[in-house]
Structure 1
Amino acid sequence: MVQLTRLFVISHLFFMGLLISGAASAQISPIEPVSVANSGVDAAAPDDVLGQTIQASLEPLRSAFPPLLTSRRYQRVDVNRVVMDFYMHRNYRAAWTDERDVTQLLKSLNDTQLDGLNPADFRVAELARAHAFVQSADATVAQKATFDMAATRTFITAVQQLRRGKVDPARLDAHWNFDPDGARDDLRALFADVDAHDVARAFAEAPPQEAIYRNLRDGLAQLRKVRDAGGWPRVTEGQSLKPGMDGVAVNQLRARLVAGGYLDAHLSKKAGYDDKVIAAVKRYQSEQYLGADGVAGATTLAALNVPVETRIDQVRVNMERARWLLYKLQGTFVMVDIAGYKVAMYRDGQPIWRSRVQVGKPVRSTPVFQAEITYITFNPTWTVPPTILKQDVIPKIQNDPGYLAANRIRVLDREGNVLSPSSVDWSNPRGISLRQDAGPDSSLGQVVIRFPNDYAIYLHDTPHRELFAKTVRATSSGCIRVEHPLQLVELLFNDPIRWSSEGIQKQLANGRTENIRLPVKVPVLLAYWTVDLSSDGRVVFKPDVYDYDSPLLKALNQPSTLPALTGLGPTLPSLASGQNKL
């Protein structure tokens, strides 16, 4: 019974911290993690000198555990806490005395490069040298204990980076509120793999197991093969390449399209900008969000000439995002792909509906966060947000006194009373708000899909339907305009009797502004991906519209915070040295 209790407590520890229930506006209270290290569960004293030495070395760490950070909604795991619980689980027995386990550990650490991580972060060569030293006759029991704890620390750090990512997203994005817990994150399995001398399995099961992640992994490997073979052929820039043209630059274009998988290899020796090249260029442009006109103009040529190393980094960045988020992609939810200008609804983890969207302009970017869709507003009015009022609407009113009437916008005082526009000093308006009446041509269209959050962001209909035809659709002031919102509303209600397409039209026809709650809340995830997967599994690339990739890549490339193992012998580091957060 004690052992079962211990395992339960260990699994609870692994993702300690402040957990978010879903809505960004929820009040968060600090939750004290339960740890074997402070749970009152007594472990029997280890029966070997090495285990006793490990226990004695770990004991001072109890008082060094940092307090929980109550000011942040997301907290990284403290490695020392997990190391302590790892050894208490095994009654302080050394974990790395079997040569097979260390061999698996070193190989698995090297293989983290397959997931876009840097094996140098884990000081693999130094760990191997330290292992060789502690096997020698010169090594003391204390040095063997220190090596064992350092190997455990490295193992836990690497597995957790594969499982949840290396970079703390909350350090890059103040809006981040995704719950870090997940169904795969079970510490008992991690410990059990070491107990079973199957370290390789722990590494294999740590990353996301979804197909999208495996395809990104395969895509990364393919890009590295291209890099190792010398990279993609470069196409001479300076003039647009058009159908009917011939020459060196067109031949380079054909070779580049072949290398990228857009043109059959047997066509590489042919000449001229023929129909096959036109089709290949259009496909490339479509996948790269460039506008598919079949002409290789300046923008298309610049994209074709992006170095393969840059594309490798782009995949690495998105694999890191996948490690942050893919555990959330299960059950029923709505996913907004901000950089891809699209939205999808999923049931049982599978997409059942997709639509194009318009998202925020770079200067008014749509934030990345999670929430829960709770109700639908039919025939919504629109209260002009302060930023739009100041920067957009007031200048229009000043230039056109008839603007308010033409757009059915009322002027309200602080009590909600309607004012005459002529009574307002539009050079310095104070104490007013503007509200647009409901109607299909209003800024919010016919419906708004609401999910309470701190940013006043929602999904909604729009009269600006012509903008959905644009390739780049960063056109809104932050909210998400949906091309087919009524289809999504029908799926969210999931009630073919009351809320069929006909039922929704009947609700709209009464003209009243009404909020109708969903029978079941539906999670909504606003995410940012700068890669896509084509129908044949190839990785394709999107413009980084908000320039979010660069800071993430910089953080991903930061060197290891694990303590050095140089010097070996008496200078093996203390477990408590170095940075402790994953």
Structure 2
Amino acid sequence: MNKLYVLLLLSLFISCKKKNQDIPQIEKPLPAIVITDAKSISIDTVLINSFKSKMLKQFYLSSDNKTIWGNPAKRSYILSQLKNSEELGLNPNDYHVKKMKSFEVRFNILSDRELAEYDLLLTHNFEKYIIHLYEGKLNPKYLYGNWALEDKSFDVNTALVKSFNRNTIDSLVQNIQPKTQTYKQLLQALKLINNFPEDDISTIGFTEKIILNDTNSSLINIKKRLLYWNDMSGNDNLTEIYDQKTFESIKKFQARHGLPADGVIGASTIHALNFSKEKRKHQIIANLERWRWYPNELSENYFIINIPNFSLHVVENQDTTAVRNVVVGTSKRRTPVLTSTLKSIVFNPTWTVPPTILKEDVVPAMKRNRNYLKNKNITIYDTAGHVVDPANWNINKPRKYRYIQSPGYYNSLGLIKIMFPNNYSVYLHDTNHRNYFERSNRSLSSGCVRVENPLELAQHILDDSKNWPKERIDTIIASKKTTTTKITKKYKLYQWYWTAWSEKNELIFRYDVYDLDEDLYSKLRK
């Protein structure tokens, strides 16, 4: 009997819980729209529902399902914004501009149903435009498996109602866009490239490097490109001779594209020269979209890594306090794009071989030479924690072991790693390949970011000369003992990806190391 009673109570509890879950959440009501225009008509709910937008339906509850865009100045502003949305890298075709313009030119003779439809189109497309400006048209979570950015939320209905009532719709458009300098530089880059004429320069072929005073038939089109992009000024007779003027112009072009500014015309320089105006414009638009995915404003103190630029900047109170070259992941082992917070520094870290490197590097090497791991100071441990002699290592079950490299100068992580929460098991670290920082293309790692001169950076992060003088860090390193310390000062980490911007009215581009730009642009224009 007692068991039956308990079962009855349990079933009632589950039933009540299910009913509670079925109760719809009551949405917070919007502020009421103040309609001051003389002409305002009711909109049939069937017409509102035909848009299949819960957001639109909720918006018109705030106007008691009446039209709101009777004011011609407000309509004109919205149509102008949507028509000129291409100036912000957006696509006017996404906002049904032609259809709305056809309503506008006939506004005074529209039927009530047409007035209602036009009103709905204005609201629906203007809100879509605002959302695109705030958080982008696409969601990176659905595009990439290794992008982890903080969610951006925005109550577009409330924002539009408030700006409508205050007559500050133009301020709304400005305020919802990113405040970061790079975003502003990208808008300027789009403006700059739109001022370039159409280009019809033939593709430049590449057969061999061209150096100063060489003669090469490709130099005619190379010079045309340099003149087109304003890297070379004045008139040029377009000879096939690589003269001093062209040499200096090539160095300027190379510097704008993050290439070694040595004046040698190689494959990388030819590749950059062969980009058309249209392709560069696509690149800028793709980068504008990315910057709308990122936070609108950055933290007070932060590390920002631009993966294609192979660079790290430390910014504190709007001042850049440190700059470092970095090494990032290869196209096959990409560095993830993420936002996080720096948590701790590990001096003299050990290194545990990750699964991908085990499969692709270690196992093939061990098949060739059983002493491969021993030569790299890596110890094999079985599941019980016992050391395994390489001769007894089971080649058919490599995943049943742990592979740990001892601390030291030649450890794969070098002398230090900087930790931050993420789902990809990546971190910033030193390296045993310190010559990599001398290369121009530093897409060389297995996903983590390797940082140049990291010990100096560690002292900078710890920011306390009394407790963390250089001598103390040197003593810890010399001990070869793994030591972890928390980072007390709050630094955000922005490990991001962008390949275009502008500086001093010049276009700046970087090689798209993960080949993302054109694919993103094509998705934006679908």
TM normalised by structure 2 equals: 0.86
Q: Is 1:39 aligned with 2:31? A: no
Deviation of the 1:556 alpha carbon: 0.6
The residue aligned with 1:569 is none
The residue aligned with 1:382 is 351
Give the direction of change, closer, same or farther, for the CA distance of 1:247–1:42 in structure 2 (3 Å limit).
closer
Give the direction of change, closer, same or farther, for the CA distance of 1:461–1:99 in structure 2 (3 Å limit).
same
The residue aligned with 1:207 is 177
The residue aligned with 2:234 is 266
Partner Cα distance (1:240, 1:47) in 2: 70
Deviation of the 1:167 alpha carbon: 1.4
Partner Cα distance (1:439, 1:542) in 2: 35
Partner Cα distance (1:249, 1:423) in 2: 60
The residue aligned with 2:189 is 219
Deviation of the 1:212 alpha carbon: 2.3
Q: Give the secondary-structure state (helix, strand or coil) at the position aligned to 1:193.
A: helix
- Which digits, 9 at most, give the CA deviation of each residue in 1:133-159, with x for residues without a partner? 4531x512x442332122111111112
For residue 339 of structure 2, the aligned residue among 354, 360, 370 is 370
Give the direction of change, closer, same or farther, for the CA distance of 1:106–1:339 in structure 2 (3 Å limit).
same
Q: Give the secondary-structure state (helix, strand or coil) at the position aligned to 1:498.
A: coil
Question: Which residue identity does 1:161 align to in structure 2?
Answer: H
For residue 77 of structure 2, the aligned residue among 91, 94, 104 is 104
Q: RMSD of the TM alignment (CA)? A: 3.2
Instruction: Tell me which moved more, 87-96 or 97-106.
Output: 87-96
The residue aligned with 2:10 is none
Question: Which residue identity does 1:541 align to in structure 2?
Answer: F
Give the direction of change, closer, same or farther, for the CA distance of 1:380–1:47 in structure 2 (3 Å limit).
closer
Partner Cα distance (1:349, 1:191) in 2: 34
Partner Cα distance (2:521, 2:32) in 1: 43
For residue 486 of structure 2, the aligned residue among 506, 517, 521 is 517
TM normalised by structure 1 equals: 0.78
- Which digits, 9 at most, give the CA deviation of each residue in 1:432-468, with x for residues without a partner? 1111100011101111111122211111100101111
For residue 102 of structure 2, the aligned residue among 129, 134, 150 is 129
The residue aligned with 2:510 is 542
Partner Cα distance (2:278, 2:515) in 1: 18
Structure 2 contact 301–490 (Cα < 8 Å) conserved: no
Partner Cα distance (1:305, 1:45) in 2: 55
Give the direction of change, closer, same or farther, for the CA distance of 1:44–1:356 in structure 2 (3 Å limit).
closer
Deviation of the 1:206 alpha carbon: 3.5
For residue 54 of structure 2, the aligned residue among 70, 73, 80 is 80
Partner Cα distance (2:413, 2:217) in 1: 51
Alignment of 1:124-273 (within 5 A): 124-136=97-109, 139-140=111-112, 142-181=113-152, 190-226=160-196, 228-230=197-199, 235=204, 237-238=206-207, 240-246=209-215, 249-263=218-232, 265-266=233-234, 268-269=236-237, 272-273=241-242
Partner Cα distance (1:99, 1:252) in 2: 52
- Which digits, 9 at most, give the CA deviation of each residue in 1:408-454, with x for residues without a partner? 11111112222222222335445211111000111011111111222
Deviation of the 1:481 alpha carbon: 0.9
Structure 1 contact 289–472 (Cα < 8 Å) conserved: no
The residue aligned with 1:305 is 274
For residue 337 of structure 1, the aligned residue among 292, 299, 306 is 306
Structure 2 contact 304–314 (Cα < 8 Å) conserved: yes
Partner Cα distance (1:410, 1:157) in 2: 57
Q: Give the secondary-structure state (helix, strand or coil) at the position aligned to 2:342.
A: strand
The residue aligned with 2:432 is 463
Partner Cα distance (1:298, 1:425) in 2: 45
Aligned identity (percent) is 28
Q: Give the secondary-structure state (helix, strand or coil) at the position aligned to 2:299.
A: coil
Partner Cα distance (1:149, 1:480) in 2: 49
Give the direction of change, closer, same or farther, for the CA distance of 1:166–1:490 in structure 2 (3 Å limit).
same
Structure 1 contact 172–551 (Cα < 8 Å) conserved: no
Structure 1 contact 233–255 (Cα < 8 Å) conserved: no
The residue aligned with 2:256 is 287
For residue 244 of structure 2, the aligned residue among 275, 292, 295 is 275
- Which digits, 9 at most, give the CA deviation of each residue in 1:8-60, with x for residues without a partner? xxxxxxxxxxxxxxxxxxxxxxxxxx99x723689699999986724856886
Give the direction of change, closer, same or farther, for the CA distance of 1:218–1:394 in structure 2 (3 Å limit).
same
Give the direction of change, closer, same or farther, for the CA distance of 1:96–1:498 in structure 2 (3 Å limit).
same
Give the direction of change, closer, same or farther, for the CA distance of 1:56–1:266 in structure 2 (3 Å limit).
closer
- Which digits, 9 at most, give the CA deviation of each residue in 1:462-496, with x for residues without a partner? 01011111111111111111112123222322223
Partner Cα distance (1:92, 1:281) in 2: 62
Unaligned runs of 5+ in 2: 1-23
Matched pairs, number: 503
Partner Cα distance (1:254, 1:47) in 2: 61
Structure 1 contact 361–475 (Cα < 8 Å) conserved: yes
Q: Give the secondary-structure state (helix, strand or coil) at the position aligned to 1:362.
A: coil
Structure 2 contact 210–216 (Cα < 8 Å) conserved: no
Give the direction of change, closer, same or farther, for the CA distance of 1:521–1:202 in structure 2 (3 Å limit).
closer
- Which digits, 9 at most, give the CA deviation of each residue in 1:187-219, with x for residues without a partner? 765434323444434334443233322221222
Give the direction of change, closer, same or farther, for the CA distance of 1:244–1:519 in structure 2 (3 Å limit).
same
Instruction: Tell me which moved more, 190-199 or 118-127.
Output: 190-199
Question: Which residue identity does 1:450 align to in structure 2?
Answer: M
Instruction: Tell me which moved more, 39-48 or 279-288.
Output: 39-48
